[in-house]
Amino acid sequence: MTGQPVGGVAATRSEARLLVPALIFIALVVAAVASLGTPLITSVATSFHVSLGSAQWTLTVALLSGAVATPVLGRLGAGPHRRATILITLAVVVAGSALTVLPLPFAWLLTGRAAQGVGLGLTALMMGVARDHLPEQRSAAVISLISVVSIIGAGVGYPLA
């Protein structure tokens, strides 16, 4: 209970000021992007001339890839390559977003949604960053905030769709 970060890597005051908003922003955006598929299922079915069951895969594939990505990203981000893991994952999410907005066949939409779902694995990684780079009491509050913001982000995705 010394107020030092658990991982031993102390962030300076200015770094901590930038770190917390960045973590919150990433959690919000990733959750919003992942939840965008739900209200669009009927539109996807109509636009791509597929059944509702097939259109449902736009949501399922994002959640499935997130479930697979979470432990993989946790393992990759546990070592010295955490920053690279986060940045590469964000690039995958952006690439997936690009695939979903391009006028491509349905299979490409599913591929894009799967890439977007990989971002769901960042939530646990963001919590680890907070734990390792912030003082103990502050990290507990930020981890709680990341959890809440992830739920808010999922709710924000519905009206955006």
8 A C-beta contact, residue 93 and residue 120: no
Kindly state whether residue 48 falls inside one of the protein's structural domains: yes
Kindly state whether residue 69 falls inside one of the protein's structural domains: yes
Give me the CATH number covering residue 140: 1.20.1250.20
The pLDDT of residue 78 = 86
Does 122 have pLDDT greater than 60?
yes
Output the pTM of the full model.
Answer: 0.83
Chain-wide mean pLDDT for the chain? 87
Instruction: Provide the number of structural domains found in the chain.
Output: 1
Does 6 have pLDDT greater than 50?
no
Kindly state whether residue 2 falls inside one of the protein's structural domains: no
Kindly state whether residue 35 falls inside one of the protein's structural domains: yes
Kindly state whether residue 134 falls inside one of the protein's structural domains: yes
Distance separating alpha carbons of residues 116 and 98, to the nearest angstrom: 10
Distance separating alpha carbons of residues 74 and 82, to the nearest angstrom: 9
Domain that holds residue 141: 13-160
Size (the chain), residues: 161
The pLDDT of residue 37 = 74
Kindly state whether residue 7 falls inside one of the protein's structural domains: no
Query: pLDDT tens for residues 93-102?
Result: 999 999 999 9
Kindly state whether residue 137 falls inside one of the protein's structural domains: yes
Does 68 have pLDDT greater than 80?
yes
Mean pLDDT along residues 30-48: 86
Token pair in block for residue 48: 């791509």
8 A C-beta contact, residue 122 and residue 40: no
8 A C-beta contact, residue 99 and residue 108: yes
The pLDDT of residue 40 = 84
Distance separating alpha carbons of residues 84 and 142, to the nearest angstrom: 22
